[in-house]
Structures are given as C-alpha cells and as structure tokens.
Chains A and B, each alone.
Chain A
C-alpha cells in the first residue's frame, strides 16, 4: 500500500489515543517511512518494511494507558500583590525580595537543558494489572466467586472493553446483581461562607477542583449514584463531603472498583467535585482524592490547607494561606504563586515538582524521588529544603532567611542567584553548579568532590556557611562579585 494508505489505516487503529498524542505518534511513524525512502527504498517497499498498524496499536495498548492531555501553563508569573510584612526582618533581606519580585521571570545564564522540551504528563491512573488484582481480591473475598476464573475473565474484558461496549455490558450483567447505572446525580449545595470554618472533601477517583468566586456564598457541586455514593454534611461549622462505605460490600464494592476501571478504560473522566469559595473565606481546607487530580486556586484567606492524592497530579496556585501541605505519589506537583504565613510543604515520589513564586513565613520543603525539582523565585523566612533522588534539583532566584539545603543523589544540583544565611548542597554522581551572591570572601567554605573539578577552595573561613559535597561530579560554583 502507499504511504498515505498506511498512515490512514494507522490513524484509524490509533483512534483510542487522545488527539495530541496520536498526532505525535503518527508523525513519528510518518518520519520512519520517509527516512526509509531516503535510504533508497521505494514507497511500497518502505511501507512493506513497517510494522502493521494492528501490531503497532497492540503494542501501544500494552504500554501505559494514555491519559487525557492537560494543558500546561507556560511562563512565570510575577507576584503582583503586596509583600508579606513581618515584625523582625533584616532590611537587606526585604530589599532582596523586592528586587527579585521586580525582576519577574529571569532566564538563567546557562540553561541546564536547551531547548526545554515539553514533558508529557504522567499517567493519572494505575495500570490495569494492579486495578484488576485489587478488584479480584475484594470481590472473591465477599462473594465466593472463583478468583482465578474471575481474574482471567476480568483481564480479558478490561482489555477488550475499550473497543467493544456490548461485550463489557454482557460480562458485567453476569457478575453483578445490579445493572450498571453509570449516571451520576448532580448535587449542588450553597451556603454563606461565614457559617463554615472547615471544609473536608474526600473522594475516591474523582478529581477535586477548588476555586475562588465572588460574593459571600460558597457552592459545592458533587455527584452521587447508588454504586458510587457520596454524602455531604454540614455539622458545627465543618462541611464534609465523603464517599459512603456501605457495610454490605459484595458486588457493590466490586462494581465501584469496576466503575473506576471503566472510567479509566473508556478514557472518560469521572465527574469532578467542584467547590467555589469566596475569595476571602476564612476556612481550613482539606482536599483528599485518590487516583484523581486535585486543583486548588484563587483563595486568599485559607487557614490550614491539606491537599493529598496518589498516582495523580496536584496543582495549587494563586493562593494565600496559613499553612500548606501538598502530598502525592507518582504524580506531578505544580505549585505557583502561593504565600503561606507559616509552613509550605510539597511532597511526591517518582514525579517532578514545579515550584514558582512561593513565599512562606516558616520552613519550605520540596521533596520527591526519582525525578527533578524546579524551584524558581522561592522565598522563605525559614529554611528552604529541596531534596530528591535520581533527579536534578534546581533553585533559581530563591532566598531563605534560614538555610538553603539542596540534596540529591545521582542528579545535579543547581543554584542560581539564590541566597541564604547558610547554603548546603549535596549530591553524589552529579555536578553542583551555579552562582551565589556576594564574593567568595563572604562564605565559610567546606567543599569536597571525588573525581571532579572543583571551582571552590576545600576549606576557607568566612561569615556564611557554604557546604558543598559530591562524588564523581564537578563543582562549578561562582560568586556574583568576582
């Protein structure tokens, strides 16, 4: 067949993939055909040498499921609100903060990676294997069905259900007493924000979106159905939205697990819980999801903010609060333009953290594993700690009144135009690079690397502590006044 026919067949086979990703994949294969032709093959032979569209589709299905593309906001935002005022702060430190604010987005002198590639979003759902295993365990525990038989049948059905809805409905009717409703009932609750002191949203596989609104009333939009029931309570100033755990689990529980898999398999997003809070509502906010993303933005008077999920991303932005804790696993954290009067803590694993324009009165912690942390324009009156493993940690235009601690292993450490009363940088099998303010004489230096160039003296007395340690890596740190 011709290249055009081949690409059309392939596009057809790949219709289960979201558009943006599908285009990238098709471009890739188109290039392969064209490169073969350049190599001397004629069009028909080049196409014949390619894998069949059906095989390609099979292999792609076997890889991680394709998540919906989420648009990634580009560009740094500069803070436009007034700076935090605190009773005791060094005058020079405040001036440094203001200078950094005015500077807005700054490009580093030597970009670590050039050009910055668009990073594909991490998969939001766990893989089929885990989900099926979980479901088989729970259903066989409660309903006496044979585990292996059910497991095999479920695996097959799950694989095919992307293509054939009818087959799935049949399987489903055979194994549950209830027919799948699938239709959620939308519920809306409104009340004056002044009657609420704390909000707790706890969902299972339902994304949560919290955003600011005008006016004095808060609005909570949530969804419930017999098979995935949620209930809402307003009790003594605490507004709670929670999934109902039915005592008699049996097939209902199976159904709910399947419900989650169905949503993942059909690439249908579960309905999103939405909370609209007046911008100045003074409340504690707890938003915990599981296997679903959580986004919080806009509110300016939150107290304790506790955002958590797993296997999914968290996005927090344009927020002002007392204390912020974000925790995920296997999911990216994007935290931008947040001011916390006290602590600000972001933790995830196996995924990157993007932190931009954050302010905290207390300690600021960014921690992940097996991935990078990008910290830009972070300022704290406490200690700033950025740690990862097997990934680079970068701090640009950051300032800490306390210590700046950056640590990784098997990854680079970069600190550009960042300042603190003490700077401690540590990694192994990675380079440490960057620029620090002042001149070398200001710093009490203790640096060490095995197997690598070192731009710093090993030991030197001074006023501010600078401790730099790596192995198998270059230390390339310079001072602004050199």
Chain B
C-alpha cells in the first residue's frame, strides 16, 4: 500500500478504536492487531498528529500509583471518521464497477 495512504488509514483506525471508548497506548496496539501490526514507535507520531489536528485529546489517570495517559476522541475526530467512510464509499463503488467487469470470467 502506498505509504502516504497507509499513514492516513492508520490515523483513522486509531480514531475508530477511540470512538468505541477512551483508551491508552498499549491497549490501542493490542486492539489494532487484527488489522495491522503497529509498533510503539509507529503509533507515537500518529497520536501526536491526531492531537495536533484536534482529533483527540489526552488526559492522565492515576493507575496503580503511576500515571497512565488516556486518549479520547473529539467531535473533530468523529468527523474525520465520517469523512473517511464517505470518501471510501465512493472508492468502493468504483472498485465494484471494475471488479464486476474484470473478475467475472
């Protein structure tokens, strides 16, 4: 997959996980495993970019006498997911069109 495209998709995947509920770094990595293998150092810049874009917010929660950073999706973030789905439904229509003709042998 084109690397730029992949970057964008990773971001929307993370947002999608967060739309199901606030989460933290390690949990995100575990939850995304079925779709892709994300390393900690790949996730970090994604979280930073999403925060900078206002798609998520960060807060700390005390957990077993240490602080754990939680990420929460924002309205902006939800909007991003909606945009992605709208965009890709167009792509899917084109894909179906092509697949119908070229895979029907």
A36 with B26, Cβ < 8 A, contacts A113-B57, A117-B51 known = yes
Contact A32 B40 (CB under 8 A): yes
Chain A residues lying within 8 Å of B25, measured Cβ to Cβ, are 28, 31-32, 35
Tell me the chain B residues, 35-64 only, with Cβ under 8 Å from chain A.
39-42, 44-45, 48, 51-54, 57-59, 64
- Residues of the B chain whose Cβ atoms lie less than 8 Å from the Cβ of A115: 57, 59
Chain A: interface size category: 35 or more
Given A28-B40, A117-B57, A412:B75 Cβ within 8 A: yes
CA A429 to CA B79, docked complex, whole Å: 7
Chain B hits for A34, CB < 8 A:
66
- Chain B 24-35 against A: per-residue CB contact (8 Å), 1 yes, 0 no? 111100000000
A115 to B83 alpha-carbon distance, docked (Å): 24
Verify B41–A51 contact, CB threshold 8 A. yes
Q: Which residues of chain B come closer than 8 Å to A60, judged between CB atoms?
A: 41, 44-45
Please pick, from B24, B26, B44, B58, the residue contacting A117 in the complex, using a CB distance under 8 A: B58
Do the beta carbons of B51 and A119 come within 8 Å of each other?
A: yes
Contact B40 A51 (CB under 8 A): yes
Determine the distance from Cα of A50 to Cα of B58 in the docked complex, in whole angstroms: 23
Report yes or no: A35 in contact with B48, Cβ–Cβ below 8 A. no
Give the residue of A59, A114, A116, A431 whose beta carbon is less than 8 angstroms from that of B41: A59
For A429, list chain B residues within 8 Å (CB): 79, 82-83, 86
For the complex, is A99 an interface residue (Cβ under 8 Å from B)? Answer: no
Residue of B nearest to A59 (CB): B41
- Inter-chain CA distance A411–B39, complex, in Å, is 31
Within the assembled complex, what's the spacing in Å between the Cα atoms of A29 and B42?
Answer: 12
Chain B residues contacting A430 (CB-CB under 8 Å) are: 79
- A21 and B73 CA atoms in complex are apart in Å by 22
- Which residues of the partner chain B approach A39 to less than 8 Å between Cβ atoms? 26
What is the bound-complex CA distance between A166 and B91, given in angstroms?
Answer: 52
Q: Are A411 and B52 in contact (CB under 8 A)?
A: no
Chain B's nearest CB lies how many Å from the CB of A212? 32
Chain A residues, Cβ within 8 Å of B53: 371
B16 contacts partner chain A, Cβ-Cβ < 8 Å: no
CB of A31 within 8 A of CB of B41, answer no
Q: Which of A29, A117, A119, A472 contacts B82 (CB 8 A)?
A: A472
Q: Does B19 contact A (CB under 8 A)?
A: no
CB distance from B36 to the nearest CB of A (A): 16
- Tell me the bound Cα distance from A469 to B102 in angstroms: 42
Q: Is A109 an interface residue (CB 8 A)?
A: no
Asked if A25 is at the interface (CB within 8 A of a chain B CB), the reply is yes
Q: Closest chain B residue to A38 by CB distance?
A: B64
CB atoms of B69 and A27 under 8 A apart: yes
Contact, CB under 8 Å: B24 / A410: no
Q: Quick one: which of A61-120 are within 8 Å of B by CB? A: 63, 112-117, 119-120
B54-A392 in contact (CB<8A): yes
Are B54 and A59 in contact (CB-based, < 8 A)?
no
The answer to whether A35 and B26 touch across the interface, beta carbons within 8 angstroms, is: yes
Contact B68 A392 (CB under 8 A): no
Task: Let me know if B42 and A59 touch, CB within 8 A.
Answer: yes
**A56 at interface by CB-CB < 8 Å:** yes
Q: Does A137 have its Cβ within 8 Å of any Cβ on chain B?
A: no
CB within 8 Å for A28 and B44 given contacts A38-B64, A412-B75:
yes
Alpha-carbon separation in the docked complex, A62 to B79 (Å): 29
A371 to B25, CA, bound (A): 25
Once A39-B26, A115-B57, A410-B79 are accepted as A-B contacts, the answer to whether A120 and B52 lie under 8 Å apart by CB is yes
The answer to whether A63 touches B75 (Cβ under 8 A) is: no
Decide yes or no whether A372 CB sits under 8 A from chain B. Answer: yes
Extra contacts, 16 of them, besides A116-B57, A117-B57, A431-B75 (Cβ < 8 A), are A25-B44, A28-B25, A35-B25, A60-B41, A113-B75, A114-B57, A115-B59, A117-B58, A119-B51, A119-B54, A120-B51, A120-B52, A392-B54, A412-B75, A429-B82, A429-B83
Residue pairs across A and B with Cβ atoms less than 8 A apart, 19 shown, are A28-B69, A29-B40, A31-B25, A31-B26, A31-B66, A31-B68, A32-B40, A35-B26, A56-B41, A59-B41, A112-B75, A113-B54, A113-B57, A117-B51, A120-B52, A412-B75, A429-B79, A429-B83, A430-B79
Q: Sorted from nearest, which 4 A-B pairs have the closest CB atoms?
A: A35-B26, A59-B41, A117-B57, A56-B41
